[in-house]
Amino acid sequence: MAPVIRELSRFPEQVELKVAVTAQHREMLDQVLSVFGITPDFDLNIMRHGQSLAEITTRSLAGLDRLFANEKPDMVLVQGDALAVFSGALAAFYHKVPVGHVEAGLRTGSKYDPFPEEMVRRLTSHVAELHFAPTPAARDNLLAEGIAADRIYVTGNTVIDALLSVAASLPDEPPPDGLREILVTAHRRENWGEPHRQVFLALRDLVQAHPDVRVVFALHRNPEIRRAAREVLGGVERVELIEPPDYAPFVRYMKRAYLVITDSGGIQEEAPSLGKPVLVTRNTTERPEGVATGTARLVGTNRETVFREASRLLTDSSAYASMALARNPYGDGHAAERIREAIFHYFGVGCPPHG
Q: Is the backbone of residue 236 left (phi > 0), alpha (psi -120 to 50) or beta?
A: beta
What is the C-alpha separation between 352 and 266, in angstroms, rounded? 27
| Catalytic residue from among 7, 103, 113, 286 | 103
| Catalytic residue from among 6, 7, 59, 81 | 81
Please state whether beta strands 99-102 and 130-133 pair in parallel, antiparallel, or not at all (unpaired). Answer: parallel
81 is catalytic: yes
189 is catalytic: yes
What is the C-alpha separation between 74 and 19, in angstroms, rounded? 14
220 is catalytic: yes
The CA-atom distances, in angstroms, between 276 and each of 88, 164, 184, 257, 271 are 34, 14, 12, 7, 5
Helix axes 303-315 and 317-324, enclosed angle (nearest 10): 90
Maximum alpha-carbon separation in the chain: 61
What is the C-alpha separation between 154 and 34, in angstroms, rounded? 29
Helix axes 2-9 and 158-167, enclosed angle (nearest 10): 90
Task: Determine contact, residues 297/323, Cβ cutoff 8 Å.
Answer: yes
Amino acid, single-letter form, for residue 306: V
φ and ψ at 49, to 5 degrees?
Answer: -65, 130
What's the chain's length in residues? 355
187 is catalytic: yes
210 is catalytic: no
What is the C-alpha separation between 100 and 102, in angstroms, rounded? 6
What is the C-alpha separation between 156 and 154, in angstroms, rounded? 6
Sign of CA dihedral 70, 21, 6, 96: negative
Amino acid, single-letter form, for residue 68: F
| Catalytic residue from among 7, 101, 107, 117 | 117
What is the C-alpha separation between 227 and 234, in angstroms, rounded? 10
Could you give the residue numbers annotated as active site? 81, 103, 117, 187, 189, 220
